[in-house]
Homo-oligomer: A and B are copies of this chain.
Amino acid sequence: MTIRIGIYGYGNLGRGIESAIRQNPDMTLAAVFTRRDPSTLKISTPNVPVCHVSQAEDYADKIDVMVLCGGSATDLPEQTPALAKTFCVIDSFDTHAKIPAHFANVDAVCKQAGTVGIISAGWYPGMFSLNRLYAGVILPEGEDYTFWGKGVSQGHSDAIRRIAGVLDAKQYTIPVQEALDAVRSGAAPELTARQKHTRECFVVAAEGADKARIEQEIKQMPNYFADYDTTVHFISAEELKRDHGGIPHGGFVIRSGKTGMDKQNNHVIEYSLKLDSNPEFTASVIVAFARAVHRLHSEGQSGCKTVFDIPPAYLSPKSGEELRATLL
Protein backbone atom coordinates (compact mmCIF):
# COMPACT_ATOMS: atom_id res chain seq x y z
CA MET A 1 0.00 0.00 0.00
CA THR A 2 1.50 3.31 -1.01
CA ILE A 3 0.78 6.57 0.77
CA ARG A 4 -1.64 8.57 -1.38
CA ILE A 5 -0.73 12.25 -1.48
CA GLY A 6 -2.97 15.14 -2.53
CA ILE A 7 -1.49 18.47 -3.62
CA TYR A 8 -3.59 21.52 -2.75
CA GLY A 9 -2.27 24.46 -4.79
CA TYR A 10 0.00 24.03 -7.78
CA GLY A 11 2.68 26.72 -7.75
CA ASN A 12 6.43 26.27 -7.25
CA LEU A 13 5.94 24.33 -4.03
CA GLY A 14 3.17 22.13 -5.45
CA ARG A 15 5.35 21.22 -8.42
CA GLY A 16 8.18 20.45 -5.99
CA ILE A 17 5.88 18.05 -4.11
CA GLU A 18 4.96 16.38 -7.38
CA SER A 19 8.59 15.71 -8.30
CA ALA A 20 9.53 14.68 -4.73
CA ILE A 21 6.79 12.02 -4.74
CA ARG A 22 8.54 10.42 -7.71
CA GLN A 23 11.67 9.97 -5.59
CA ASN A 24 9.78 8.10 -2.89
CA PRO A 25 8.52 4.71 -4.10
CA ASP A 26 6.19 4.29 -1.11
CA MET A 27 4.13 7.30 -2.25
CA THR A 28 1.78 8.09 -5.10
CA LEU A 29 0.20 11.31 -6.26
CA ALA A 30 -3.58 10.90 -5.91
CA ALA A 31 -4.85 14.28 -7.14
CA VAL A 32 -3.97 17.94 -7.61
CA PHE A 33 -6.40 20.64 -6.49
CA THR A 34 -6.41 24.16 -7.90
CA ARG A 35 -8.42 27.35 -7.60
CA ARG A 36 -7.96 27.88 -11.33
CA ASP A 37 -10.05 26.22 -14.01
CA PRO A 38 -8.65 22.64 -13.83
CA SER A 39 -8.85 22.26 -17.61
CA THR A 40 -6.21 25.00 -17.97
CA LEU A 41 -3.69 23.24 -15.70
CA LYS A 42 -1.18 20.81 -17.13
CA ILE A 43 0.72 18.74 -14.55
CA SER A 44 3.76 16.52 -15.14
CA THR A 45 2.36 13.22 -13.87
CA PRO A 46 0.20 11.22 -16.29
CA ASN A 47 -3.21 9.83 -15.30
CA VAL A 48 -3.60 11.92 -12.18
CA PRO A 49 -6.81 13.93 -11.79
CA VAL A 50 -6.61 17.73 -11.63
CA CYS A 51 -9.63 19.02 -9.73
CA HIS A 52 -11.10 22.28 -8.58
CA VAL A 53 -10.58 22.91 -4.87
CA SER A 54 -14.37 22.69 -4.44
CA GLN A 55 -14.15 18.97 -5.27
CA ALA A 56 -11.72 18.09 -2.48
CA GLU A 57 -14.39 16.50 -0.27
CA ASP A 58 -15.02 13.86 -2.97
CA TYR A 59 -11.49 12.58 -2.37
CA ALA A 60 -11.94 11.92 1.35
CA ASP A 61 -11.30 8.18 0.92
CA LYS A 62 -8.70 8.47 -1.82
CA ILE A 63 -6.06 10.62 -0.11
CA ASP A 64 -3.97 9.73 2.94
CA VAL A 65 -2.21 13.09 3.35
CA MET A 66 -3.16 16.42 1.81
CA VAL A 67 -0.18 18.75 1.27
CA LEU A 68 -1.15 22.40 1.43
CA CYS A 69 0.96 24.50 -0.91
CA GLY A 70 -0.62 27.93 -0.51
CA GLY A 71 0.84 31.08 1.01
CA SER A 72 1.23 31.76 4.70
CA ALA A 73 -0.28 35.25 4.61
CA THR A 74 -3.87 34.38 3.75
CA ASP A 75 -4.17 30.83 2.33
CA LEU A 76 -2.87 28.49 5.01
CA PRO A 77 -4.52 30.08 8.07
CA GLU A 78 -7.87 29.28 6.39
CA GLN A 79 -7.08 26.19 4.36
CA THR A 80 -5.13 23.99 6.78
CA PRO A 81 -7.82 23.95 9.51
CA ALA A 82 -10.61 23.69 6.91
CA LEU A 83 -9.07 20.65 5.20
CA ALA A 84 -8.07 19.01 8.49
CA LYS A 85 -11.78 18.30 9.02
CA THR A 86 -11.58 15.73 6.22
CA PHE A 87 -7.90 14.95 5.64
CA CYS A 88 -4.64 14.42 7.41
CA VAL A 89 -2.73 17.57 6.45
CA ILE A 90 0.72 19.08 6.27
CA ASP A 91 1.79 22.63 5.50
CA SER A 92 4.88 24.87 5.55
CA PHE A 93 3.31 27.82 7.39
CA ASP A 94 6.18 30.25 7.94
CA THR A 95 4.81 33.34 9.66
CA HIS A 96 6.80 32.67 12.81
CA ALA A 97 4.88 35.00 15.11
CA LYS A 98 1.57 33.36 14.22
CA ILE A 99 2.68 29.73 14.58
CA PRO A 100 1.15 29.29 18.08
CA ALA A 101 -2.28 30.51 16.88
CA HIS A 102 -2.14 28.43 13.71
CA PHE A 103 -1.12 25.38 15.74
CA ALA A 104 -4.06 25.85 18.11
CA ASN A 105 -6.53 26.16 15.21
CA VAL A 106 -5.28 23.07 13.41
CA ASP A 107 -4.96 21.07 16.63
CA ALA A 108 -8.57 21.72 17.63
CA VAL A 109 -9.91 20.60 14.25
CA CYS A 110 -7.65 17.55 14.06
CA LYS A 111 -8.61 16.33 17.51
CA GLN A 112 -12.29 16.75 16.74
CA ALA A 113 -12.00 15.02 13.37
CA GLY A 114 -9.51 12.31 14.37
CA THR A 115 -6.95 13.53 11.83
CA VAL A 116 -3.25 14.32 12.14
CA GLY A 117 -1.66 17.58 10.99
CA ILE A 118 1.91 18.82 10.82
CA ILE A 119 2.40 22.55 10.39
CA SER A 120 5.49 24.58 9.53
CA ALA A 121 7.51 21.80 7.85
CA GLY A 122 10.32 22.84 5.52
CA TRP A 123 13.79 24.13 6.23
CA TYR A 124 12.91 27.33 8.08
CA PRO A 125 10.73 26.75 9.91
CA GLY A 126 11.66 23.10 9.89
CA MET A 127 15.17 21.69 9.63
CA PHE A 128 16.83 24.88 10.89
CA SER A 129 14.47 24.93 13.88
CA LEU A 130 15.18 21.26 14.60
CA ASN A 131 18.91 21.84 14.51
CA ARG A 132 18.62 24.78 16.88
CA LEU A 133 16.68 22.56 19.25
CA TYR A 134 19.20 19.71 19.13
CA ALA A 135 22.20 22.02 19.44
CA GLY A 136 20.62 23.96 22.29
CA VAL A 137 19.86 20.92 24.43
CA ILE A 138 23.38 19.53 23.90
CA LEU A 139 25.12 22.83 24.66
CA PRO A 140 22.80 24.65 27.07
CA GLU A 141 25.43 27.35 27.67
CA GLY A 142 26.17 28.87 24.30
CA GLU A 143 25.17 31.19 21.49
CA ASP A 144 23.08 30.56 18.36
CA TYR A 145 24.01 32.10 15.03
CA THR A 146 21.98 31.97 11.82
CA PHE A 147 23.32 33.05 8.45
CA TRP A 148 21.26 33.16 5.27
CA GLY A 149 22.31 32.43 1.75
CA LYS A 150 23.76 32.62 -0.64
CA GLY A 151 20.20 32.86 -1.84
CA VAL A 152 17.38 34.81 -3.39
CA SER A 153 15.23 36.84 -1.02
CA GLN A 154 11.78 37.22 -2.55
CA GLY A 155 10.84 40.05 -0.21
CA HIS A 156 13.93 42.11 -1.02
CA SER A 157 13.58 41.48 -4.74
CA ASP A 158 9.96 42.68 -4.55
CA ALA A 159 11.01 45.79 -2.64
CA ILE A 160 13.41 46.76 -5.44
CA ARG A 161 10.75 46.16 -8.09
CA ARG A 162 8.51 48.73 -6.42
CA ILE A 163 11.05 51.52 -7.11
CA ALA A 164 10.11 53.82 -10.01
CA GLY A 165 12.09 53.02 -13.15
CA VAL A 166 12.77 49.37 -12.17
CA LEU A 167 11.39 46.75 -14.55
CA ASP A 168 12.66 43.67 -12.74
CA ALA A 169 15.15 42.72 -10.04
CA LYS A 170 16.66 39.88 -8.07
CA GLN A 171 18.36 40.23 -4.69
CA TYR A 172 20.86 37.78 -3.21
CA THR A 173 21.58 37.62 0.51
CA ILE A 174 25.20 36.56 1.06
CA PRO A 175 26.80 35.57 4.37
CA VAL A 176 30.07 37.33 5.18
CA GLN A 177 32.90 34.80 5.21
CA GLU A 178 34.84 36.56 7.99
CA ALA A 179 31.79 36.48 10.26
CA LEU A 180 31.24 32.77 9.55
CA ASP A 181 34.89 32.07 10.30
CA ALA A 182 34.74 34.03 13.55
CA VAL A 183 31.68 32.08 14.71
CA ARG A 184 33.23 28.75 13.70
CA SER A 185 36.35 29.56 15.72
CA GLY A 186 34.24 29.34 18.87
CA ALA A 187 34.96 32.97 19.71
CA ALA A 188 31.20 33.68 20.15
CA PRO A 189 31.43 37.17 18.62
CA GLU A 190 28.64 39.76 18.76
CA LEU A 191 27.76 40.65 15.18
CA THR A 192 25.69 43.43 13.65
CA ALA A 193 23.42 42.91 10.64
CA ARG A 194 26.08 44.54 8.45
CA GLN A 195 28.81 42.25 9.73
CA LYS A 196 26.80 39.10 9.02
CA HIS A 197 25.38 39.58 5.52
CA THR A 198 25.88 41.56 2.35
CA ARG A 199 23.18 42.17 -0.24
CA GLU A 200 23.73 41.97 -3.98
CA CYS A 201 21.09 43.30 -6.37
CA PHE A 202 20.65 42.68 -10.10
CA VAL A 203 18.36 45.30 -11.54
CA VAL A 204 16.75 45.80 -14.94
CA ALA A 205 16.11 49.54 -15.36
CA ALA A 206 13.62 51.08 -17.75
CA GLU A 207 15.10 52.82 -20.76
CA GLY A 208 16.23 56.31 -19.80
CA ALA A 209 15.72 55.72 -16.06
CA ASP A 210 18.09 57.50 -13.67
CA LYS A 211 20.29 54.60 -12.52
CA ALA A 212 22.15 56.65 -9.93
CA ARG A 213 18.85 57.59 -8.29
CA ILE A 214 17.63 53.95 -8.35
CA GLU A 215 20.87 52.74 -6.81
CA GLN A 216 20.62 55.32 -4.07
CA GLU A 217 16.98 54.49 -3.35
CA ILE A 218 17.90 50.83 -2.97
CA LYS A 219 20.88 51.43 -0.72
CA GLN A 220 18.99 53.82 1.54
CA MET A 221 15.84 51.75 1.91
CA PRO A 222 15.26 51.33 5.67
CA ASN A 223 15.13 47.79 7.11
CA TYR A 224 15.69 46.17 3.73
CA PHE A 225 19.06 47.61 2.71
CA ALA A 226 20.18 50.59 4.81
CA ASP A 227 21.79 48.38 7.50
CA TYR A 228 23.80 46.34 4.99
CA ASP A 229 26.63 46.74 2.52
CA THR A 230 24.70 46.58 -0.71
CA THR A 231 25.98 46.21 -4.26
CA VAL A 232 23.78 47.12 -7.23
CA HIS A 233 24.37 45.81 -10.76
CA PHE A 234 22.32 47.04 -13.71
CA ILE A 235 21.83 44.30 -16.29
CA SER A 236 19.56 43.61 -19.24
CA ALA A 237 16.29 41.66 -19.03
CA GLU A 238 17.95 38.88 -21.05
CA GLU A 239 20.86 38.65 -18.63
CA LEU A 240 18.50 38.55 -15.65
CA LYS A 241 16.59 35.68 -17.20
CA ARG A 242 19.69 33.81 -18.33
CA ASP A 243 21.90 34.18 -15.25
CA HIS A 244 19.45 34.70 -12.39
CA GLY A 245 16.46 32.52 -13.25
CA GLY A 246 16.96 30.01 -10.41
CA ILE A 247 15.68 30.10 -6.86
CA PRO A 248 18.78 29.05 -4.90
CA HIS A 249 18.95 29.47 -1.16
CA GLY A 250 20.52 28.06 1.94
CA GLY A 251 22.14 29.10 5.15
CA PHE A 252 23.94 28.12 8.30
CA VAL A 253 22.75 27.40 11.81
CA ILE A 254 25.68 27.39 14.20
CA ARG A 255 25.83 26.95 17.94
CA SER A 256 28.96 27.66 19.87
CA GLY A 257 29.01 26.54 23.48
CA LYS A 258 31.18 25.57 26.41
CA THR A 259 31.51 22.51 28.62
CA GLY A 260 33.71 21.39 31.47
CA MET A 261 34.01 22.09 35.17
CA ASP A 262 35.66 25.43 34.41
CA LYS A 263 33.84 25.98 31.07
CA GLN A 264 37.26 25.48 29.54
CA ASN A 265 36.23 23.58 26.41
CA ASN A 266 34.62 25.09 23.29
CA HIS A 267 32.39 23.21 20.91
CA VAL A 268 30.88 24.27 17.60
CA ILE A 269 27.87 22.53 16.05
CA GLU A 270 27.08 23.61 12.50
CA TYR A 271 24.21 22.71 10.17
CA SER A 272 24.18 24.15 6.70
CA LEU A 273 22.18 23.93 3.49
CA LYS A 274 23.22 24.81 -0.04
CA LEU A 275 20.17 24.56 -2.25
CA ASP A 276 19.78 24.98 -5.99
CA SER A 277 16.01 25.18 -5.59
CA ASN A 278 14.43 26.51 -2.43
CA PRO A 279 10.89 25.25 -3.26
CA GLU A 280 12.04 21.78 -4.31
CA PHE A 281 14.07 21.30 -1.15
CA THR A 282 11.19 22.56 1.00
CA ALA A 283 8.94 20.10 -0.83
CA SER A 284 11.37 17.26 -0.15
CA VAL A 285 11.27 17.98 3.57
CA ILE A 286 7.46 18.15 3.54
CA VAL A 287 7.16 14.81 1.75
CA ALA A 288 9.34 13.07 4.37
CA PHE A 289 7.18 14.51 7.16
CA ALA A 290 4.02 13.52 5.25
CA ARG A 291 5.17 9.92 5.77
CA ALA A 292 5.17 10.56 9.52
CA VAL A 293 1.68 12.11 9.34
CA HIS A 294 0.39 8.94 7.74
CA ARG A 295 2.13 6.67 10.23
CA LEU A 296 0.87 8.60 13.26
CA HIS A 297 -2.66 8.47 11.88
CA SER A 298 -2.34 4.73 11.20
CA GLU A 299 -1.43 4.31 14.87
CA GLY A 300 -4.65 6.02 15.87
CA GLN A 301 -3.16 9.34 16.91
CA SER A 302 -4.79 12.69 16.22
CA GLY A 303 -3.98 16.37 16.66
CA CYS A 304 -1.47 18.88 15.38
CA LYS A 305 2.27 18.23 15.53
CA THR A 306 5.42 20.04 14.46
CA VAL A 307 8.85 18.78 13.45
CA PHE A 308 9.74 18.86 17.16
CA ASP A 309 7.23 16.10 17.93
CA ILE A 310 8.19 13.55 15.28
CA PRO A 311 10.49 10.63 16.14
CA PRO A 312 13.06 10.74 13.30
CA ALA A 313 12.46 7.05 12.49
CA TYR A 314 8.91 7.98 11.44
CA LEU A 315 10.33 9.92 8.48
CA SER A 316 11.87 6.82 6.94
CA PRO A 317 10.24 4.00 4.98
CA LYS A 318 12.73 1.64 6.66
CA SER A 319 11.89 -0.35 9.79
CA GLY A 320 13.45 0.43 13.15
CA GLU A 321 15.52 -2.75 12.84
CA GLU A 322 16.85 -1.75 9.43
CA LEU A 323 17.67 1.77 10.61
CA ARG A 324 19.58 0.50 13.66
CA ALA A 325 21.52 -2.02 11.57
CA THR A 326 22.46 0.37 8.75
CA LEU A 327 22.43 3.96 9.99
CA LEU A 328 23.18 4.01 13.70
Give the interface of A toward B (CB within 8 A): 16, 18-20, 22-24, 44, 96, 99-100, 103, 120, 125, 127, 129-134, 136-141, 184, 186, 259-261, 264-277, 280-281, 283-285, 288, 291, 306-313, 315-316, 320-321, 323-325, 327-328
Q: Given A137-B316, A312-B307: A324 and B281 within 8 A (CB)? A: no
Q: Which residues of B contact A184 (CB under 8 A)?
A: 274
Q: CA of A275 to CA of B265 in the docked complex: distance in angstroms?
A: 8
Per DSSP, chain A at the interface is helix
Copies in the complex: 2
Q: Which residues of B contact A129 (CB under 8 A)?
A: 327-328
- A138 contacts B281, C-beta separation under 8 Å: yes
Partner of A141, one of B23, B277, B323: B23
- B16 contacts A133, C-beta separation under 8 Å: no
Q: CA of A288 to CA of B325 in the docked complex: distance in angstroms?
A: 23
Q: Which residues of B contact A261 (CB under 8 A)?
A: 18-19, 22, 44
- B259 contacts A137, C-beta separation under 8 Å: no
Taking the closest CB of chain B, its distance from the CB of A51, in whole angstroms, is: 21
Partner of A276, one of B265, B285, B325: B265
Q: List 16 A-B contacts (CB under 8 A).
A: A20-B259, A23-B140, A23-B141, A96-B328, A100-B321, A129-B328, A130-B312, A133-B316, A138-B285, A138-B288, A269-B271, A270-B271, A270-B274, A308-B327, A309-B313, A309-B320
Partner of A266, one of B131, B276, B316, B321: B276
- A328 contacts B308, C-beta separation under 8 Å: yes
**7 tightest A-B CB contacts, nearest first:** A265-B276, A137-B288, A308-B313, A268-B274, A265-B277, A259-B280, A137-B315
Q: Which residues of B contact A284 (CB under 8 A)?
A: 138-139, 259, 267
Q: CA of A20 to CA of B271 in the docked complex: distance in angstroms?
A: 22
Q: Given A137-B316, A311-B308: A103 and B324 within 8 A (CB)? A: yes
Q: Which residue of B lies closest to A132 (CB)?
A: B327
Q: Which residues of B contact A328 (CB under 8 A)?
A: 96, 99, 120, 125, 129, 306-308
Q: CA of A136 to CA of B125 in the docked complex: distance in angstroms?
A: 19
Q: CA of A136 to CA of B323 in the docked complex: distance in angstroms?
A: 11
Q: Which residues of B contact A275 (CB under 8 A)?
A: 265, 267-268
Taking the closest CB of chain B, its distance from the CB of A308, in whole angstroms, is: 4
Q: Which residues of B contact A96 (CB under 8 A)?
A: 328
Q: CA of A184 to CA of B325 in the docked complex: distance in angstroms?
A: 27
Q: Which residue of B lies closest to A259 (CB)?
A: B280
Taking the closest CB of chain B, its distance from the CB of A32, in whole angstroms, is: 14
Q: Which residues of B contact A19 (CB under 8 A)?
A: 259-261
Q: Which residues of B contact A306 (CB under 8 A)?
A: 324, 328
